[in-house]
A and B are shown apart, each in its own frame.
Chain A
Amino acid sequence: MDKDIFQGYTGRALTMLQKYHVRVWGKAVMETTRGHFEGTVLPRAEHQDDTHIVMKIATGYNIGIDIETITDMKEVGYSKANYAIPEKEFPYTKGLPSVKLFGTGGTIASRLDYRTGAVIPAFSPGELYGAVPELADICNLETEKVFAVFSENMGPTQYIALAKAIGKEIEKGTEGIVIGHGTDTLQHTAAALTFMVQNPPVPIVLVGSQRSSDRPSSDAALNLMHAMYAAGHGDIAEVMVSMFGPTSDDYGLLHKGTRVRKMHSSYRSTFRTIGDTPLAMVRRTGIEHIHKNYKPRRKDTNVKIFPYFSDQVTMIYYYPGMKPEIIDLLVDQGYKGIVFVGTGLGHVNRELYPAIERANEKGVHMYMTLQTIWGYVHMFVYDTGRDMMARGIVPTGNMLPEVAFIKLGWALGQTNDKEEVKKLMLTSINDEITEREPYNGYLVYQGGVPEVEEFVQKTRK
């Protein structure tokens, strides 16, 4: 029999279903030692045990039946669910800007997956419009599904494909670009696109959601509206991330692609600009600039695409007592670039020095970033820092660790020359290293402090 008939069932549960000829989506009547049960048999998630059968009962709830208790079972009907958002063609409104939406997967466009029991990327951007009709008031939208992968599966291949697609779209004259993306590695993609797509004439906005669009209180719809607005109407022609400012359904923040970081595993307002203030606040109806200096929108199409990436780059998150073998092993494996994430101002222990020296001799490119996330690498303050620089480690200012990793991969995709790589690394493309940190950039609120409590109570979070 077709395997799909018993979607997800394995082992004993599968045998049981086969024995009584009951299919997934079949209406089943079961007799068990715990009594009588009726319902529609649902698919089972792959990683769940093989001792239960899942049913949807008449009231719409799901229950599981222990196969050990089943004494009889019969299929009395069959009806397969058809899960699809009505797909609607996006209406054209004269006078609204044209925006291109690239779909990559992630929770902004996802649906239930019975295989894993989690959500998978499956909504086509066209379906998205069916769910968020307000988008038609903001722009004229074209959509393209570049690929459908989970955020954590986004990598160099996808960065390059995306950069090329964006280049083509800009040449065609689009007025703004939005990229739907999972949030886990949104910052990595934002950094990669900043380096690969230089001098864009229009906004390139990455957007995701922290609550999947299958939830009524999802942030997906509002995030998408903010992103569309920033892409179509905004004046900032940079690679940006648009996500919730506060956790409330209120305004979004536009973050520079090189300075943004996911800072909470589950909050809606998880993305924060680090070492600076965000670029702007965005609402469905307007943008309020925070940064006075930004790269403005242009009429030309003179974008430069640098679709390069080397995957022979790694990151080392330093911890006390780290052994030099770690570095030796990586070097022996042929890694050409290492980004250190050091303590304090940018330090690792002395024990690693010989390994670092060895790596340097072998031509490995080494850069230092910070575990503190906030602040600058200062390798001149202590001897340790000076010792490390002497052994070939280059400080990266206030470049974020993930950004440094992406940039080193991008640089090594172009050249192996130490000086050229260094020049690429240390020349800011879009503020991945800033000359100064504004006093109001670092604001980590601490609950419990009276001033903060007062602020939180009066301002909707």
Chain B
Amino acid sequence: MEDQFDSVANYEATRSKIGYEPRKIATQETYNRIGFMSGLEVHQQLKTRYKLFCRCPAGIFHRNDQFNAELIRHMRPTLSELGEYDGTALMEFKTRKNIFYRINNENACTYEIDDTPPFLLDKKSLEIALEISLLSKLNIVGEVHITRKQYLDGSIPTGFQRTAILGVEGHIELKNKTIRLIQLSIEEDSCREISDIGHNRVFKTDRLGMPLIETVTYPEMTNPDEVMEACDYIRFLNRSTGKVLTGPGAGRQDVNVSCKGGTRVEIKGVAHTKWIPELTHNEAFRQWALLEIKEELERRNIKGENWKINHTPLNIDKTTFPEPFKQKYAAAGEKFIAVALPGFKGLLSHFTQPEKIFANELAERLKVIACLEHPNMFHTEELTPTFDSAFWEEIRNSLNAKKDDALLIFRAPEDDVTTALEVIQERCEMAFDGVPKETRKSFENGTTIFERVLPGADRMYPDTDSAPIPLTNDYIEGLKQNMPNDIVERYEQMQEWNIPEDTYTYILSKNLYPIIHKIITELKYAPLFTGVFFGQHLKFIEGQYKKGQNFSYEIVYGLFKFAQEHKLKSNILYPMLSIIYEQPQMEFDSVLTDVRYKPHSKEEILAPVDFLREKYREIGRVQTEQAENNWIMGELRHRAMGNMEYKTLMNELKKR
């Protein structure tokens, strides 16, 4: 009789064996121990009228079902300029995907579907990207060469992204260290995926071709929080120009992570910087776990060179599948293949990420490369077993497998069986080498799944459709004239102004600094008040109120200016902002009426004080001077609004 393998216990044992610590308790020592290393590729859409290589409008998006035409393409790998095939390209070719593109006439033309060669690169986009390159202290190239970067996943109908380097070797200043930048490129954005089921992948082309920049750092961040800090810095730097798009999807980053002995793995499309710490933490430990699996295989004295899976098709009628299982899957007409992984017992349930085991690595590749929908695989070490041990014993016999072999069964359409077997063999072989180079897709809970094989430099090819663009010294010097100051300078200035540090992230991410600066220096408002008004109050309003169309932060500057011109005290700015935020088209005068502002002299404001004191003495429950003043303050607050600062009012009350 087959022993019941305790997969859960094995998962927990392997987790503690590699010394996994949750991020909450992890320290720099934890990361030093596993050799945490991370770098970033930060993407940012530019705010322009046109797309990068055609004259379609940029920034118009559509629902999935809003399209005028649909077309289909297949991608084939081609040689790079240096005569090599790229690994990713070969993987994507194996998947045999039908790729569908949905086109809307409003924002896509024959360029998007690769039926027209590129038009000249949009000048405005180039200008913005160069400005950001200069801010990033990069060495600007003498001539921009447009390069094709192969993407065979279908996200770009041509099969490549047109991209160009603008600068190399720059740096940014974090709180405690300098992070070097490898390069900054300008490129066309890709399609948005609608669905990917079986062999059919559907994209829409609205985002395709929008101007995008990518800032790439060296892998110099040594803990998860530092990665987030660097990412925020780059994002704030981009936004400081005021010439980039904000909102969902306008900024996205790929995060590269490795651990000591591991390899560069790229976590793609992280939508929020706040996800970064958990994702990088888990990825470093995932690699650490895979290295432990490699060592375990060495200890077991299993060699990768001659290691081969062993498989047999299962006859669905003659196999004792449990009845509910049969009912669920038998009708689809798929093949069921049993596979033995020699000597792999205890590895399938080896910890890799929180709630994830090595078997997931196989299942994810089966989905992506062989197009097998989940659940595509059942095995002897599931954390929640699908089959009992008697069933597995039968399978073990039919495979002539040994006791220390791990077993799995996958289900697949007949055409995909060969690819699936190759995928299993290949991924297991990689276990002997440790960590495969791949890109992974991120989830909010901090875990990742396999997305693609990591592409290399072999997928680059010069774009023979476009001529190089020279960048003269005069042109570059001209761009330098109107540049914003450095993020690090802004940071220091705000510190000097005593603006609380916890507001900086919000202020920089919304690029409010230039407005705050203008209010303080031109209108002479108090720096602390202004910083807090934007960094705390405006943030609160954004979270609580519905933003009116056409609201911009410039309007808030107008509000400050209006108050100053009308000699209104600044406390009136609070109620006025709430209204103007929702109805930005309103005249400031009307807003004044709306908040029921009436001009009152100091005497008028303070006139009812004596009466109110008497009244409080009758009705007040706590008879202290402070409580009394607070109550009176509340009663007079509205009269004072715009006429007298509340602090002054309180002082007056205390005097009387």
Using a CB–CB cutoff of 8 Å, the interface residues on chain A facing chain B are 32, 34-37, 48-49, 51-52, 54, 56-69, 81-85, 112, 117-119, 131-132, 210-218, 221-222, 246-250, 264, 266-268, 447, 453, 456-457, 460-461
CB-defined contacts of B143 to chain A, threshold 8 Å: 52, 54, 63-66
Q: A66-B470, A460-B71 are in contact. Are A60 and B115 (CB under 8 A)?
A: no
The 3 closest A-B pairs by CB, nearest first: A64-B143, A216-B159, A35-B139
Q: Once the chains bind, are A61 and B145 in contact (CB under 8 Å)? A: yes
Interface centre among B141, B160, B163, B458 (most CB of A within 10 A): B141
Among the 9-residue stretches B75-83, B310-318, B495-503, the one with 4 or more Cβ atoms under 8 Å from chain A is B75-83
- Kindly report which residue of chain B lies nearest to residue A214, judged by CB atoms: B78
In Å, the complex CA distance between A266 and B54 comes to: 15
CB-defined contacts of A222 to chain B, threshold 8 Å: 74
Q: Once the chains bind, are A457 and B83 in contact (CB under 8 Å)? A: no
Partner of A63, one of B71, B75, B116, B145: B145
A-contact bits for B453-492, CB 8 A (1 contact / 0 none): 0001111111010011011110000000000000000000
Closest CB of chain A to B353's CB: distance in Å?
29
Partner of A217, one of B158, B460, B473: B158
Closest CB of chain A to B202's CB: distance in Å?
12
Q: Once the chains bind, are A247 and B71 in contact (CB under 8 Å)? A: yes
Q: A213-B78, A216-B89, A216-B158 are in contact. Are A250 and B72 (CB under 8 A)?
A: yes
CB-defined contacts of B81 to chain A, threshold 8 Å: 56, 81, 83, 112
Closest CB of chain B to A28's CB: distance in Å?
14
Partner of B69, one of A62, A210, A250, A456: A456
Q: Once the chains bind, are A59 and B182 in contact (CB under 8 Å)? A: yes
Q: Once the chains bind, are B68 and A457 in contact (CB under 8 Å)? A: yes
Closest CB of chain B to A128's CB: distance in Å?
12
CB-defined contacts of A456 to chain B, threshold 8 Å: 68-69
- Kindly report which residue of chain A lies nearest to residue B68, judged by CB atoms: A457
- Kindly report which residue of chain A lies nearest to residue B182, judged by CB atoms: A59
CB-defined contacts of A246 to chain B, threshold 8 Å: 71
Is residue B150 within 8 Å, beta carbon to beta carbon, of the partner chain? Answer: yes
Among the 9-residue stretches B122-130, B164-172, B336-344, the one with 4 or more Cβ atoms under 8 Å from chain A is B164-172
14 pairs, CB–CB < 8 Å, chain A vs chain B: A59-B216, A60-B457, A61-B163, A62-B145, A63-B142, A63-B143, A69-B473, A81-B81, A82-B83, A117-B464, A132-B76, A215-B158, A217-B159, A457-B67
CB-defined contacts of B417 to chain A, threshold 8 Å: none
Is residue B140 within 8 Å, beta carbon to beta carbon, of the partner chain? Answer: yes
Q: Once the chains bind, are B163 and A48 in contact (CB under 8 Å)? A: no
Is residue B359 within 8 Å, beta carbon to beta carbon, of the partner chain? Answer: no
Is residue B620 within 8 Å, beta carbon to beta carbon, of the partner chain? Answer: no
Q: A119-B464, A457-B67 are in contact. Are A64 and B76 (CB under 8 A)?
A: no
Give the residues from 154 to 186 in chain B that come closer than 8 angstroms, CB to CB, to chain A: 157-160, 163-165, 168-169, 182-183, 185
Give the residues from 96 to 146 in chain B that come closer than 8 angstroms, CB to CB, to chain A: 105, 110, 113-117, 138-145
Q: Once the chains bind, are B115 and A460 in contact (CB under 8 Å)? A: no
Q: Once the chains bind, are B141 and A63 in contact (CB under 8 Å)? A: yes
Closest CB of chain B to A348's CB: distance in Å?
34
Using a CB–CB cutoff of 8 Å, the interface residues on chain B facing chain A are 67-83, 89, 105, 110, 113-117, 138-145, 147-152, 157-160, 163-165, 168-169, 182-183, 185, 216, 456-462, 464, 467-468, 470-473
- Kindly report which residue of chain A lies nearest to residue B137, judged by CB atoms: A35
Q: Once the chains bind, are B69 and A461 in contact (CB under 8 Å)? A: yes
- Kindly report which residue of chain A lies nearest to residue B143, judged by CB atoms: A64
Closest CB of chain B to A22's CB: distance in Å?
15
Q: Once the chains bind, are B83 and A81 in contact (CB under 8 Å)? A: yes
In Å, the complex CA distance between A37 and B473 comes to: 17
Closest CB of chain B to A64's CB: distance in Å?
2
Q: A52-B143, A85-B79, A216-B78 are in contact. Are A62 and B462 (CB under 8 A)?
A: yes
Interface of A is mostly: loop
Q: Once the chains bind, are A83 and B83 in contact (CB under 8 Å)? A: yes
Closest CB of chain A to B80's CB: distance in Å?
8
Partner of A59, one of B67, B150, B183, B471: B183
Closest CB of chain B to A208's CB: distance in Å?
15
Q: Once the chains bind, are B83 and A34 in contact (CB under 8 Å)? A: no
Q: Once the chains bind, are A64 and B468 in contact (CB under 8 Å)? A: yes
Interface centre among A69, A131, A214 (most CB of B within 10 A): A214
Closest CB of chain B to A49's CB: distance in Å?
7
CB-defined contacts of A66 to chain B, threshold 8 Å: 142-143, 470-473
Q: Once the chains bind, are A248 and B470 in contact (CB under 8 Å)? A: no
Q: Once the chains bind, are A51 and B113 in contact (CB under 8 Å)? A: no
Closest CB of chain A to B456's CB: distance in Å?
7
Q: A211-B114, A216-B150, A217-B159 are in contact. Are A84 and B83 (CB under 8 A)?
A: yes
Q: Once the chains bind, are A61 and B83 in contact (CB under 8 Å)? A: no
Interface centre among B68, B144, B164, B468 (most CB of A within 10 A): B468
Q: Once the chains bind, are B82 and A83 in contact (CB under 8 Å)? A: yes
Q: Once the chains bind, are A266 and B110 in contact (CB under 8 Å)? A: yes
Q: Once the chains bind, are B464 and A54 in contact (CB under 8 Å)? A: no
Partner of A58, one of B83, B145, B151, B457: B457
Q: Once the chains bind, are B79 and A460 in contact (CB under 8 Å)? A: no
| Extra A-B contacts (9), CB below 8 Å, given A52-B468, A216-B158 | A36-B139, A56-B82, A61-B165, A62-B460, A69-B473, A83-B83, A119-B464, A216-B150, A248-B72
Partner of A249, one of B69, B74, B79, B472: B74
Interface centre among B142, B458, B467 (most CB of A within 10 A): B142
